[in-house]
Amino acid sequence: MTVLIDDPTWPAHGRLWGHLVSDESLDELHAFARNAGIPPRGFDHDHYDYPAERREELLAQGAVPVTGKELVARLTTSGLRVSQREKRGL
């Protein structure tokens, strides 16, 4: 099981957000998020958004820290990456 976590660098709603992905399967990612108490509304096509204040807790639960660049590369290599075009339904 490999759930990857990047640094929270994306501002929204008055806080910083990061991403959680799996380089294995969406089932693995959903199970990790469910066990970590991340609500389903945090899922965005191929990743979960998480607030900065949850980072240490998610690391303690087994998320593996990577750079944003590595996160995207490993998600793409896994075949789970959803392009912006696909997200828009084009």
Q: 30-45 pLDDT, tens per residue? A: 999 999 999 999 999 8
pLDDT tens digit string along 47-68?
999 999 999 999 999 999 999 9
Question: pLDDT category, 1, cuts 50, 70, 90?
Answer: low
Question: If you average pLDDT over every residue of the chain, what do you get?
Answer: 91
pLDDT recorded at residue 50 = 96
- What H or E segment, with its residue span, contains residue 16? strand 15-22
Compute the 3-state secondary structure of the chain and give helix, strand, coil in percent, each to the nearest 5.
40, 25, 35
